[in-house]
Structure 1
């Protein structure tokens, strides 16, 4: 449990996105209560602009702003 594989994969994805498609926002959606995924997305630079409904539940979307540094705040 908690071996860092998801963070490693997400970091690689963000790196690829930065290199080839940074002009396009990257979005991720997380099921409510999935705190591990939420932490991974926070670590690699995703931000939470609001909430959307998915499968009848409110799901927090995450957006990776162009050029955002991991761990940077929106403010």
Structure 2
């Protein structure tokens, strides 16, 4: 059985958690990359505004989820 741990981390904190989970499962890991700049306080506020407004953003990832049994 193949596993994929997928995560998003604006600040990098979730990366550490995802790496720990992936290691314990012997899983591959993939980061969801937001194509918008979300760094800094102003962009953090704008991200909240986008979320409340239901605005979607373009994302990028490397692994194909269809190649895995469990995500």
Q: Same fold (TM over 0.5)?
A: no
Structure with the bigger percentage of helix: 2
Considering only CA atoms, is the larger Rg found in Structure 1 or Structure 2? 2
Give TM-score scaled by structure 2 length: 0.31
If the length of structure 1 is used for normalisation, what is the TM-score?
0.30
Q: Higher relative CO (CA 8 A, sep ≥ 6), structure 1 or 2? A: 2
